[in-house]
Amino acid sequence: MRHLPLCLALAVFSLVPGMASAQESYTIKIKRSSKGLLEQVQSTKTIVEKTKVADNQGNVVQEKDETTVTNTTFKQATLERPDVDKQPTSLKNIYEKVQITLNGMAQKVPYEGKTVLIDKKGDKYAF
């Protein structure tokens, strides 16, 4: 009975000649966001922090684990991008839903439901 799945697999490959050895290649082109482009973004990030405090003898004094989960849904509009090969210099994020959970407890975020303008000033971004 153990050999039945292997036999079925061999039978399928023998019915379709060249199926296992056929390799096709495809070129995937990703369009870089350009001026005027509006993208829908959904992001989920999970951060696990483990903290351990020990004294000089190596005895553990305090140990703490924290898990932060961030779920974000927003629209991002590229307002200005002088060079397509570089990052945009001006963006607009329209935050629809932002949910941050720290150790199972929901946290309020002040920018949920708001629009945030992001401009590059020098080598840093200002919000």
Residue type, 112: E
For the chain, domain boundaries: 29-126
* pTM given for the model: 0.60
Interatomic CA distance for residues 79 and 93, integer angstroms: 10
How is 102-121 classified by DSSP, letter by letter?
ETTEEE--TTTT-EEEEEEE
Q: How would residue 35 be classed by pLDDT, with cut points 50, 70 and 90? A: confident
- For the stretch 68-124, pLDDT in tens is 999 999 999 999 988 878 888 999 999 999 999 998 899 989 999 999 999 999 989
Q: How would residue 26 be classed by pLDDT, with cut points 50, 70 and 90? A: confident
